């Protein structure tokens, strides 16, 4: 972009304060030089009128599946990062359930090198806890650590043997790494198609009980308590799971963080209707009561962050019968707008809460600094129009996959501009 960018008469969003009055924001050389009223227009500056719109830190998603290497027909790093930009996101953490799995320095290097070559935003990757995500033998953890990996997870599955996870925590916790836990007792979860309850009985499909998730949430936090490791609980879906995390946090003697996904706040098992595979995911959608409890957990801080668990699949895969279709929902293109439409626009919480949970805290989890819109700060922000709308057509979305209930729906809100440093990544 031009060396100078002036956004005029915009309201600034921060994680720890209400919306500002209308101000002008001047960016020069990728740095926010001034936030003030009635700034003069520098010669040659690009001017964006911001009246009625909101300027906020760009989002950061700490849980995405880009399917590369091995499953590039679903998604790859290039398309996944463009979907992120389309959703106002300027940093992501990849999960390691690829083929080959990201379980060694060799695979980590290949993934990061590819990301540097094709992505316009920073891409971080997690590494496996166990070799090949097999749950038996520890992965080559030290080699991955040397390349900057901080998060260890076998996401897609839990580590079934607690002794293996215990040893991993003893070993890697000393390196400053942390463990992101997909909590599921595999033997109890069954086919993992949908929540066990009235809806599963009506559809005639064996359901997955919430306790399959809740048991392992408690188990993995207990292992972290015993070893002194940092445990991060992924994609929590049930009220009792959330309450378990709250109980451990209130004890204060274990480092535990947790995330919730937008789909577990918005959708429930009843939405599956006539076997709609767009609503099939793991953990499965639970009940309306779980939705209410999880939302309270986000607002009260039981959940440190929001993360999409962006899980793309091809239309052919999702067109199978409900039991055979893979689990997963895309989320990068839709998360920010849908959170505004479903919650902020309806007064459930404010923009400050969303910026904290979907921008600042995910970065802190990864040892990164937040990117507030303040004088002297790095320019990494988005411009949002709450009076406009977005229709999520196949042409609009940048992900290779379209497995989302929001396909062809129109929601309130629109992302108009995404800036990182000296580059305008998106402008509508």
**305-350 residue pLDDT tens:** 999 999 999 999 999 999 999 999 999 999 999 999 999 999 999 9
Known active-site residue 309? yes
Residue with tokens 């293109």: 333
pLDDT at residue 191, rounded to an integer: 80
Burial 155-176 (b: 16+ CB within 10 A, else e): bbbbbbeeebbbebbeebbeee
Number of Cβ within 10 Å of residue 12's Cβ equals 23
Q: What is the pLDDT of residues 359-391, one digit of tens each?
A: 999 999 999 999 999 999 999 999 999 999 999
Q: What is the pLDDT of residue 174?
A: 86
> Largest Cα–Cα distance in the chain?
68
**Residues in the chain, total:** 428
Query: 18 falls in which pLDDT band (50, 70, 90)?
Result: confident
- All domains of the chain, ordered by start, with CATH? 4-55+375-427 (2.30.40.10), 58-365 (3.20.20.140)
Q: Give the C-alpha separation, 243 to 249, whole Å.
A: 10
Degrees (nearest 5) of the Cα angle 248, 253, 257? Answer: 55
Task: Provide the pLDDT for residue 2.
Answer: 64
Closest CA to 35 of 23, 51, 18, 49: 23
| List 154, 220, 309, 333, catalytic entry | 309
How confident is the model over 249-276, as a mean pLDDT? 97
DSSP tag of 163: H
Is the pLDDT assigned to residue 421 strictly greater than 70?
yes
Judged against a pLDDT cut of 70, whether residue 1 lies above it is answered with: no
What is the pLDDT averaged over residues 200-213?
Answer: 95
Model confidence band, residue 173 (pLDDT cutoffs 50, 70, 90): confident
**What is the average pLDDT across 31-36?**
98
**Average pLDDT of every residue of the chain:** 97
Query: Which uninterrupted H or E stretch holds 27?
Result: strand 23-28
Q: What is the rounded average pLDDT of the residues 87-114?
A: 98
The predicted model scores a pTM of 0.97
Q: Per-residue pLDDT tens for 273-315?
A: 999 999 999 999 999 999 999 999 999 999 999 999 999 999 9
String of DSSP letters for 366-392: TT-----S-TTSB-EEEEEEEEEEEE-
The average pLDDT across 242-249 equals: 98
Question: CA 376 to CA 361: how far, in whole Å?
Answer: 21
């Amino acid at each position: 972009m031009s060396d100078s960018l002036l956004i005029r008469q915009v309201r600034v969003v921060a994680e720890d304060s209400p919306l500002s009055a209308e101000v002008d924001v001047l960016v020069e050389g990728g740095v926010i030089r001034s936030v003030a009223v009635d700034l003069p227009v520098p010669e040659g500056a690009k001017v964006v009128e911001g009246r009625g719109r909101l300027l906020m830190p760009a989002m950061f998603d700490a849980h995405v599946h880009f399917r590369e290497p091995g499953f590039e027909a679903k998604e790859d790093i290039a398309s996944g990062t463009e979907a992120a930009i389309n959703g106002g996101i300027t940093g992501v953490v990849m999960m390691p359930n690829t083929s080959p799995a990201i379980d060694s320095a060799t695979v980590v290097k290949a993934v990061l090198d590819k990301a540097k070559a094709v992505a316009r935003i920073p891409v971080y990757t997690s590494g496996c806890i166990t070799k090949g995500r097999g749950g038996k033998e520890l992965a080559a953890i030290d080699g991955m650590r040397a390349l900057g990996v901080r998060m260890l997870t076998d996401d897609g599955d839990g580590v079934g043997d607690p002794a293996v996870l215990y040893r991993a925590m003893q070993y890697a916790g000393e390196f400053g790494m942390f463990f992101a836990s997909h909590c599921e007792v595999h033997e109890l979860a069954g086919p993992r198609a949908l929540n066990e309850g009235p809806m599963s009985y009506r559809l005639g499909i064996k359901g997955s009980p919430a306790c399959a998730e809740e048991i392992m949430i408690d188990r993995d936090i207990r292992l972290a308590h015993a070893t002194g490791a940092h445990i991060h609980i992924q994609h929590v879906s049930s009220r009792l799971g959330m309450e378990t995390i709250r109980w451990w946090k209130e004890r204060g003697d274990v480092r535990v963080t947790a995330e919730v996904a937008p789909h577990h706040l918005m959708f429930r098992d009843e939405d599956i209707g006539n076997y709609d595979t767009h609503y099939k995911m793991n953990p499965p959608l639970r009940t309306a009561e779980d939705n209410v409890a999880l939302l309270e957990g986000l607002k009260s801080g039981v959940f440190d962050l929001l993360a999409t668990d962006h899980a793309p699949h091809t239309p052919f895969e999702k067109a199978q019968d409900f039991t055979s279709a893979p689990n997963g929902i895309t989320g990068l293109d839709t998360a920010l707008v849908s959170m505004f439409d479903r919650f902020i626009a309806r007064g459930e919480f404010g923009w400050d809460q969303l910026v904290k949970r979907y921008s600042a805290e995910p970065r802190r989890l990864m040892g990164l600094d937040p990117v507030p819109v303040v004088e002297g700060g790095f320019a990494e922000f988005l411009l949002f129009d709450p009076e406009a709308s977005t229709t999520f057509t196949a042409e609009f979305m940048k992900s290779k996959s379209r497995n989302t209930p929001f396909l062809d729906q129109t929601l309130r809100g629109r992302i108009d501009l995404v800036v990182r440093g000296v580059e305008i990544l998106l402008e509508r």
